[in-house]
Structures are given as C-alpha cells and as structure tokens.
A and B are shown apart, each in its own frame.
Chain A
Amino acid sequence: MQEYRFEDEHSYLHKLQELVDSGVPARRIHAFSPIPVPAAEQILREKPTFVRVFAIAGALLGMVAGFALCIYTVLRYPLIVGGKPVVSILPFVVIAFELTILLGSLATFAGFLLNARLPYIPRIFNPDEYGTHFTILVEEER
C-alpha cells in the first residue's frame, strides 16, 4: 500500500492522472480530499451517481401519498364543511406538495447514505485522518 500526500490540489490531480496513465486500475486507487475536487472524478472515470433516482422516486411517492391520504380519509368519514364537496382536490394539492418535498428530500438523503456507504462503522471507531492534505492510496497488486 503506497501513500501519497499533497499540500495542494494541483499536484494531487497531477499524481492521480499519472497513476491512471501508468495503467493502475481505478479500483486500486483511493483518493481523499478535504474539499470536493470534481476533476478527480473524471480522471478516475467515476460512474454518475444514482442519488437523483432516489430523489425522483421519493418525490413521486410523496405526491401520491399526499393525495391518497386526503382522499381516503375524507371518504372514510364524509363530512360536509363550508358547502364544499367532500373530495375537493384544490386544498389537497397543498398537502400533496408538502409530502412531495418531505419524502423527496428524505429519500435523497437515504440514497446518499446508501451510495456513499455511510455511516461506516469501522471508520467511526478509528477514523483515518488525512487532515488538510490531499491523499492518494494505491493498493498493492494481488
């Protein structure tokens, strides 16, 4: 296991590029940075994230749930108020909207945790710290 530490982003990216070019497969390279470095993703040819799928699924679920909740409950116990029909969609839109946002964002967060494999218990107990350094770990050939 080799470790490369850099003070700055440029040499870090440069080293990454170098490793990839020298034919080290991306799965053996582990790169860490104190701040997001999108360029690193391209170098390592990372697949696009699935988090957005969770977002859409959650949002849709929320909307459906919202309408379902309102309509189901008023039909279970139909009471007339203010001369309005028992099922009046307009006011229910508000509920549906809020649930869309709520489930949408919760699902997105859940999706993030799953994809990013967090929380990662072993690291909670002994986190390997890279401080403000940009770090690259390269696994040995097995």
Chain B
Amino acid sequence: MNRRDFLKAVGAATGGAVVAGCEPKKGTYKAISPLFPLPEGRIPGEPYYIRTTCTECPAACGVSVRMIDGVPLKLEGTPGHPVNDGSLCIRGQAAITRLYNPRRIRKPMRRKSTGAWEEIDWDQAYGAIIEAVNRARQEGRKNLYLSGRTAGSLGRLIDEFCRKAGFERLPEYEVFDYAALRQANRLVFGIGEVPFYDIAGCDFLLTIGADVLQTFGSPVSQQRQIARARRENGLTWVHAEPHVSLEGLQAQKRLVVRPGSEPHLLSFLLAAYGKSIPGAPPSGAAAVSRATGLDEGSLLELAEQLRKASRPLVIAGGVSLAGENGLATAVLCAQLQAAGGMTARLDFGRSLDMGRVGTLKDLQALANRLERGEAGVLFVTRTDPAGTAPDTMRFAERMEKASFRVALADAISATSEKCDLVLPLSHSLESAGDAVPHRGLRGLVQPVAEKLLHDTKTEGDILLDLLDEMTAEREFRSYAAYLKEQWRAEFGPGYEPQFSATGYLVRTAARQASPAPKPVPAQALKTTAMPEGPVLALVPSIRYYDGRSRSLKLLNEIPDPLTTITYGEWVSVAQQDAQDLKLQDGDELELAVGTWTRVLPAKIQKRLPPGVMMVDRGVAGACPTRVDPASGGEVAWLTGVRVRKTGGAVRLPVMSGSPSQHGRGIIPDPVHLKEGGNAHGDGHGKEHGEGHHNLSLYPEQEYRDYRWAMAIDLDACTACGACVAACYVENNVAMTGRDQHLRGREMSWIRIEPFYDREDGADFLPMLCQQCDAAPCEAVCPVFATYHNPEGLNAQIYNRCVGTRYCANNCPYKVRRFNWFDYRPRRDTQLRQPHGDLTDSIELPLDRVSNPLVSLRKRGVMEKCTFCVQRIREARDRAKDRGRKIKDGEMVPACAQTCPSEAIVFGNSLDPESRVSKIIQQGTHRVFEELGTRPAVHYVNGPIPDARLKNSDRGEA
C-alpha cells in the first residue's frame, strides 16, 4: 500500500465518520438543473432526439442525437431520412467519440521559434494571420486556400472569403476523389459525377472492386438497398475483385480477377451485349479468361446472368478504379451501363456532390507552385495532404516553402505538424452548418453539445471573424446567422419547421436521366498489364475510411471484419505466399518500393489471391502512390514491391481463436457439416444434438406478458460492425486497449465471428448473449448475481456480483465479460499500470461518452448483453403511461436499431403477431441448441418476411 492509498483510506474512513455523524435537514436537497433550459413540457432525465447530419464521410447520413438534459449520448440514424432511414454505419456510431477524442486540439496553437507549440487565444491567432497576409501581399506572394471536400453553404462562404481577403481557392483534396469514375462519366455521359445507384430497384448486381458496403459512394444507403433488393427482388449479387474484401465475401458469388484485368472482363460483358468498343481490350472468351484468370465457364455464366436479368446494374469502383487501368475500367463500365440499359438506375440528379473536389493532379500542381515559392499564406482545412499524398510529391517539405501556413483541424496531423498556426475546429455536434448528401438534398448540422473542454470555432465563424478583422464591415453576427440567411434565400422563408423536425430539406430536382453515351477517345481505354511480382493494394477501410478515423479509439477497439485484428497495423498476405515465405501471423515483413520502405507485421488472409498483399489505405499514409496520368487520380496499387522477412515478430491482437468452425455447424449450412472437420469429428455435434434439445426434466418456464427474442438474418448481415459500435456507445462498454486485447480481455458484448469454411468465401455470425431459457451461467452463480427475469432476459445484477467468473466459464457462447481492472475510472483519476500500458484504455475525456441509463461497471464484476434492458424499461414505462403493452418494433436494442441491412429483428415471442415470432414459426437455427440451453436468439439463413422493420424506437411514439 503506497502513500496515496494510505491517505485515501484515511480520508475515506474519516469522511465516512463525518457523513455518518450528520443527518441531512429537511428541504436542504436541490434538484440538479439541466445545462440549458429545456423546451416546453420536457421532463428532465427523459431522453429526446435532435436532428443533425453525420460528417464522417461524404455520404452525410441523417443523424438523430439521443440527448438527456442537454448532453448528447448517442448518434442514431434519422428514421425516414432519404439516405439512411434510421441506420448508421460503424463510423457514424463512433462519431460521438470524436467529440471527446483525447487527441483533439483545445486551443489555437502557434509554433514557437523553438519548434514547440504554444497555446494562444483567438485574437492573437487572427492577428498573426492578418500580419502574415499583409506581408505576403507586400512580397507579392499568392495566398492559397486548400480544403477538404466542402458542400453546402460553407463552400459559398469560403468563396466570399477568398474574394474579399484576396485568397486563391484551390481545388479541394480528398484521398477518395473518384477521379477515374468522374472522368469516365464525363467522357461517356458528359456528367463528371458519381451518380446515385438505384440498387434497390435491380435484380442483378455486379460490383467490380467497388466497396459498396464500406466507403464507396453512400455505404449505408447502398447496404440498405442491397438488403431490400435481396428481400424484395431476390437480388443476385456478384462481386468481382482483384483482392479480398467484405463485399466479395458477402456477395452470392465472388469472382477473383487479376489486378488490372477488369477492362478485359468488361469488354467481354460488352461483347455479350453485342457491343464492341474501339480500343477496348480483346473480348474473346479465351483471351479474357487468360487475362483475368477466370475460367470461361464462369465468364459465360456471368454474361448469361447479366443478360437474363430484367433490371441489372454494374458498378465499378474502389481498388479496381485505383489502378493504372482505372479509367479504362470506369469508361468500359459506363459503356456497359449504357449498353445494358442500366442508365435508368443511374440518377445523376441525386449524384454525390464532389463539385469542387479536385484530383491528385491538382495537388501535384500545388506542390509545384509551392516548390517555386509562389505561396504566401497557405490555409489547409479539414484535409491532410502531407499525410496521404504520394511521398514522391514531398508535400510536407514543400509546404514549408509557403511563407505562413495555417491549419484548421480538430487534431494534429502530418499536415498541421508543418504549420505555423493551428486553429481548432469544432466537432459537428458543436457546430452549425449544413451538408449535401447528394444533389437536391440538404442536411442540417446543428450544435447539440456545449463546448465543455475545447475553445474551438467552426470554420464558418473563423472566416467571418477574419473578414471582420480584415475588412471592418461585418454583415453577420455569426456563421449561424449567415446560414439562416442562406437557407432562407434558397428554400424560402417557411423552411425552419420542417428543417429542424426532419433534419433535411429536399429540393425536388427533376430526375436527371443519363444522356446517350458519347464515343470515347481511345487513349482513355489504353490498358497496361500489371507488372509481374508481388503487388500491394492500398484498400479503403470500413473502420478508418481514408485514415481520418484512425485516431478514434472505439474504431480501433472493434475488430476488422476480415482479420479480426483490433489495434495496430498489418499487411494481409495470401496463404500461398505465406507458405512460400514461411510466414506465421505477426512475423514482420519489410516492404520496399524504390526508396520507400515500411515494416509491417504479416497477417495471413484466407481467400486473398496469391501475389497480392493488402494494407489499409489509412495505415499506408504517404507512400509511393502515383498520379494516374489518365484520370489524375491516385494509383493505389504499389507494384514491384520488394518483400523481405526481417526475422522480427510482434503479437497481433487477433480476436478470433480459429478461422474455422471445425465442423460444429455453428452456422447452418450443410456445407459446413461436411467441411473443416480436421481431426475434430465431423458435424457429429449437430447430429448428436438432434431431438435432444427439447428433453428436459423440468417444466418450461411460464412468461406473462413478454418473452424477448431476437432473430438474425445471416444472409442480410454484412458483418459491417455497426451493431458492435452501437452497443459500445449505448451500454458504456469499456474500451480496454491493445495490451488487454493481447491478453484476451476484449469487452465487446456483441461480436461478429468470421468463419472461412466455404470453398470460396466466408460466413459471418453476430454473436451476443443468447438469453437462454435454460442458461448454464445462471445456476452456477453462488450469489444470484445473474438470474432469469420474468421477461426471459438473462439479467446480470452488477452490484450483487462477487466475481467468481463461474458464469463466464460455463457459458458455451463465451459472451460474458469480466472487468479485470477499473477500465472506466472516475473522472480525472488515473488507473494504476500493473502490467504493460493500460492507460490507453482510459484516456480522458473519453469517459464522457457514457449513457446515464446504464450503470458503469466496477473492477471485479461480470457484465453482459441484456437486449438493452434499459430501452425495454423505457418502452415499458412509455407503454404503461398510455395504458397498453409494448408494440412490436416500438423498442429495439441498439444493435438492431442501427443495422443498415435490418438483419436483426427483435420482439416479443409471446405475441404470435410479432415479426420475430413469425420468423421463429418458419423454423430457425439456434447455436449449440444440442446443449439444451434453449437460446432466445434465432438465426435464419434467408430473407425475413414482410420486409421492412420499423425502427420507431425514438422516444416520441
């Protein structure tokens, strides 16, 4: 016991004595008042929702912020929103942790002569800028304004600022700039944009490299559409890819093509429509088969399916457009869309607004200008060119040639490192603004959180302030005022009520059908074969997008869907290559391209074609990517990679204990019973259990009103992990950090288990507490800390738990989690560091992301999923007030609420009319049923009836 503990003990003892000594007088209690006055008729402590828009990626989904007493608790999709209708992706769910991200900048910072940062206040910052601007003007240098993708009113304000303050606004810089796609659409359809893909309307979908579930276009919308199309039009989804991705493993059929051979595939398909494009690669089946590595049979079958389909759609994107042949692929895809009559399902009227987004070529131009020393004051906002541009561009060092560099950012990045001044930007939950999910749709961004910790401003306010300082005229009190002005001008005076109620405004643009295709210049079609030798693909990441989300702890805590690695970096290597290199998971590989080298631990990735390696784009950072001369976009395929085993090795936090089911039939599919039974018996587990599970010595438990149950559609589930993120935020699940993960101490209440048992592909199983009727965990608890509640929930009473861990041992599903330490300390206390580095599990102020309706768990107690019992309670109270029972779908757990493909159905299995009991009646599969645990979570392998699940859990019913 060290000094501090001793003092604590003494303090506690005396304090206790004092408290015990004095009893409170009547009427001395005070009600704690909310942060700011509540709207009329709002009861303190009751959750309510505020509409805003997610700003994590260009998709700009509608968000309802779940609030209690003016504190934002959780982000949920806005029901009925045209983009995401109630759902959010994994990054959207994690967005609230960005608000309390420990790496956020709290005050304006200036670079001292010593090179260290010093915190200054805003006026000093403005002073410095103005001074620099004037100096630059005298020196006759150009002031430049580089920003990330900007949509909506802010763009207009930036223009205004640049005009008045004499800045030149540069094309915006995004890593995922869709350069090839936009270029192709410009060439073929005359519209250089990313259209809205009407997947919901099609019955056959061929995606070529497009990561439609992860980052491409509007992922949540696309995921919802795919799920709907599967249910309603029996969609067939084929995914062709040169690597392995979630899409490939989720599609009904996965075609592995050689990197860069996509044009051949497309020209083959065009030929199937009797179209031959001059300059396109040969379309003969044999030739194409040779080029792509697909056997002719599957080629012909694909062509057949495509032609048979009444409403087909082909989408090319992602890594397939990020290669040397990206433009050719995109162009041919556009041609195919035209030839196959798919243009009806491309809506350019609702295209993704990439209006001012430039390409890497433009960034190159900027780099050259910087090199020439033309630049005076350089503004870089919401983007990190230094950290992502090709290393050959040497952007970071060239930046320093600008006389004064200002970064507007929320955290220090490679770019802001190189700046003289960093201005902290407010989080979108602290800002007023608007967003444009797609043309004709305006999303509302409104502040919901007080700036408790940070002295930050929105970009709009900063620009207005600067204008005010420079040109003494001030039109607008604040950016909010400016916005209101803009909106009134655009949508007419009566816009407010609808805007604030729904969080979006639609300006009905006439559906813009894509015009007839134009002939394409041949050079746009020239293809080059990818050179021999190993290639390294920089792939978009569902967790990190282009890397902007890497600093979010929650997204590191949740496993990568394919490898189940949580923290850290790795390079995925094909099994074949691993054998050749004699690699184990975690062995370090040195990857070298030209002068660039990078040492990364290897992870053997099943289903990855030999010769191809994968690294998250966000992890790769600034590396030898190249500017594609054809499209101006980024070539994210590193060729001629020299691979060397360093001999070193690190332990990767891989959450999965085994990639195979070992024939245990966890996921129902006859294939698995035959397969993977290496020395572990073959599927006897299932047969053995047949018929046994209903035998019981004891009578069934009687339930009165409710028996909560869940059905999960494994076909619809895409393993996107949104449910996991939602669960973390909703239930105050602790983030334990890398060190603990290496010790096998993750805390996730719901996880997604990948099993690579099929010949080609994988199966994913969301695993959460199964709320068994005959729960093995309950009977063994010596103190009744866990028991079966009258509504069938396997309740866990944290305060009663003494921590024997017997329940966790005895749980066949291993879904119980033990608090090995105080992972969530009381504010501003520090956790002891007994072993390794635990501090990363408690970075403050991350602990502010906490739901007051769910108790925080202390060290030494067991915790687990209880179907979001707090939400059930909430719904029951609401129902009680209205004198009725809880309606079906009125309440759903956080996981079901956010699921973009609505794979999770939750309800009362006592009510024969509820969707869940309808599904159960159809016959379902329950995991390890042969153990007689009688789980309440049912898995179905097929479409769920009466398609749409109404997530009306909004506290407003």
What sequence of 0s and 1s flags, for each residue 777-795 of chain B, a beta carbon within 8 Å of any chain A beta carbon? 0111100101110000000
Is the beta-carbon distance between B787 and A81 smaller than 8 angstroms? Answer: yes
Cα separation A80 to B700 with both chains bound (whole Å): 11
Is the beta-carbon distance between B779 and A84 smaller than 8 angstroms? Answer: yes
Is the beta-carbon distance between A81 and B779 smaller than 8 angstroms? Answer: yes
Number of residues from A at the complex interface, CB < 8 A:
9
**Contact partners of A80 in chain B: CB under 8 A:** 701, 778, 787-788
What is the chain B residue whose CB lies nearest that of A85? B698
Cα separation A81 to B788 with both chains bound (whole Å): 6
Query: Does A82 count as interface, using CB distance less than 8 angstroms?
Result: yes
What sequence of 0s and 1s flags, for each residue 73-87 of chain A, a beta carbon within 8 Å of any chain B beta carbon? 000010111111100
Cα separation A85 to B778 with both chains bound (whole Å): 13
CB B879 to nearest CB in A, in angstroms, measures 24
- Taking residues whose C-beta sits less than 8 angstroms from the other chain, chain B's interface range is 10 to 19
Is the beta-carbon distance between B787 and A83 smaller than 8 angstroms? Answer: no
Is the beta-carbon distance between A82 and B779 smaller than 8 angstroms? Answer: yes
What is the chain B residue whose CB lies nearest that of A81? B778
Query: Does B696 count as interface, using CB distance less than 8 angstroms?
Result: yes
Is the beta-carbon distance between A82 and B776 smaller than 8 angstroms? Answer: yes
Is the beta-carbon distance between A82 and B774 smaller than 8 angstroms? Answer: yes
Interface residues of A in 49-66 (CB under 8 A from B): none
CB A37 to nearest CB in B, in angstroms, measures 50
What sequence of 0s and 1s flags, for each residue 686-723 of chain B, a beta carbon within 8 Å of any chain A beta carbon? 00000000001011110000000000000000000000
Is the beta-carbon distance between A83 and B698 smaller than 8 angstroms? Answer: yes
What sequence of 0s and 1s flags, for each residue 43-70 of chain B, a beta carbon within 8 Å of any chain A beta carbon? 0000000000000000000000000000
Cα separation A79 to B800 with both chains bound (whole Å): 14
CB B33 to nearest CB in A, in angstroms, measures 39
Cα separation A85 to B779 with both chains bound (whole Å): 11
What is the chain B residue whose CB lies nearest that of A77? B784
Is the beta-carbon distance between A79 and B774 smaller than 8 angstroms? Answer: no
Is the beta-carbon distance between A83 and B775 smaller than 8 angstroms? Answer: yes
Query: Does B773 count as interface, using CB distance less than 8 angstroms?
Result: yes
Is the beta-carbon distance between B698 and A81 smaller than 8 angstroms? Answer: no
What sequence of 0s and 1s flags, for each residue 96-108 of chain A, a beta carbon within 8 Å of any chain B beta carbon? 0000000000000
Query: Does B401 count as interface, using CB distance less than 8 angstroms?
Result: no
**Contact partners of A81 in chain B: CB under 8 A:** 775, 778-779, 781, 784, 786-788
Query: Does B934 count as interface, using CB distance less than 8 angstroms?
Result: yes
CB A33 to nearest CB in B, in angstroms, measures 50
For the complex, would chain A's binding face be called helix, strand, loop or mixed by DSSP majority? loop
- B774, B781, B784, B786: which contacts A83 (Cβ < 8 A)? B774
Interface residues of B in 654-701 (CB under 8 A from A): 696, 698-701
**Contact partners of B774 in chain A: CB under 8 A:** 82-84
**Contact partners of B700 in chain A: CB under 8 A:** 83
CB A89 to nearest CB in B, in angstroms, measures 12
**Contact partners of A77 in chain B: CB under 8 A:** 784
Cα separation A44 to B934 with both chains bound (whole Å): 71
What is the chain B residue whose CB lies nearest that of A80? B788
Cα separation A81 to B696 with both chains bound (whole Å): 14
What is the chain B residue whose CB lies nearest that of A74? B784
What is the chain B residue whose CB lies nearest that of A91? B779
**Contact partners of B701 in chain A: CB under 8 A:** 80, 83
Cα separation A84 to B772 with both chains bound (whole Å): 12
What is the chain A residue whose CB lies nearest that of B790? A80
**Contact partners of A84 in chain B: CB under 8 A:** 698, 774, 779
Given contacts A79-B787, A80-B787, contact A85 B781 (CB under 8 A): no
**Contact partners of A88 in chain B: CB under 8 A:** 698
What sequence of 0s and 1s flags, for each residue 757-785 of chain B, a beta carbon within 8 Å of any chain A beta carbon? 00000000000000011111011110010
Cα separation A84 to B787 with both chains bound (whole Å): 11
CB A80 to nearest CB in B, in angstroms, measures 5
Cα separation A82 to B780 with both chains bound (whole Å): 8
- A79, A83, A85: which contacts B773 (Cβ < 8 A)? A83
Cα separation A77 to B800 with both chains bound (whole Å): 14
Cα separation A85 to B699 with both chains bound (whole Å): 8
Cα separation A10 to B934 with both chains bound (whole Å): 75
Cα separation A129 to B86 with both chains bound (whole Å): 94
**Contact partners of B773 in chain A: CB under 8 A:** 83
**Contact partners of B775 in chain A: CB under 8 A:** 81-83
Cα separation A85 to B701 with both chains bound (whole Å): 9
What is the chain A residue whose CB lies nearest that of B788? A80
Cα separation A88 to B698 with both chains bound (whole Å): 10
Cα separation A83 to B694 with both chains bound (whole Å): 13
Cα separation A83 to B695 with both chains bound (whole Å): 13
**Contact partners of B784 in chain A: CB under 8 A:** 77, 79, 81
**Contact partners of A79 in chain B: CB under 8 A:** 784, 787-788
Most chain B CB atoms below 10 A, which of A81, A84, A88: A81
CB A74 to nearest CB in B, in angstroms, measures 10
Most chain A CB atoms below 10 A, which of B774, B776, B779, B784: B779
CB A70 to nearest CB in B, in angstroms, measures 13
Cα separation A80 to B775 with both chains bound (whole Å): 10
Cα separation A85 to B774 with both chains bound (whole Å): 11
CB A14 to nearest CB in B, in angstroms, measures 62
**Contact partners of A83 in chain B: CB under 8 A:** 696, 698, 700-701, 772-775, 788, 934
Cα separation A88 to B697 with both chains bound (whole Å): 11
Cα separation A97 to B854 with both chains bound (whole Å): 42
What is the chain B residue whose CB lies nearest that of A90? B697
What is the chain A residue whose CB lies nearest that of B786? A81
Cα separation A82 to B699 with both chains bound (whole Å): 12
Interface residues of B in 788-809 (CB under 8 A from A): 788
What is the chain B residue whose CB lies nearest that of A82? B779
What is the chain A residue whose CB lies nearest that of B772? A83
What is the chain A residue whose CB lies nearest that of B777? A82
**Contact partners of B772 in chain A: CB under 8 A:** 83
**Contact partners of B696 in chain A: CB under 8 A:** 83
Interface residues of B in 325-366 (CB under 8 A from A): none
CB A77 to nearest CB in B, in angstroms, measures 8
What is the chain A residue whose CB lies nearest that of B702? A80
Cα separation A40 to B696 with both chains bound (whole Å): 62
Cα separation A71 to B776 with both chains bound (whole Å): 22
Interface residues of B (CB under 8 A from A): 696, 698-701, 772-776, 778-781, 784, 786-788, 934
In order of increasing CB-CB distance, the 9 nearest A-B pairs are A82-B779, A83-B774, A81-B778, A79-B787, A80-B788, A82-B778, A81-B779, A83-B773, A81-B787
- For this complex, 18 residue pairs linking A to B, each with C-beta atoms less than 8 Å apart, are A79-B784, A80-B701, A80-B778, A81-B775, A81-B781, A81-B787, A81-B788, A82-B776, A83-B698, A83-B701, A83-B772, A83-B773, A83-B774, A84-B774, A84-B779, A85-B698, A85-B699, A88-B698
Interface residues of A (CB under 8 A from B): 77, 79-85, 88
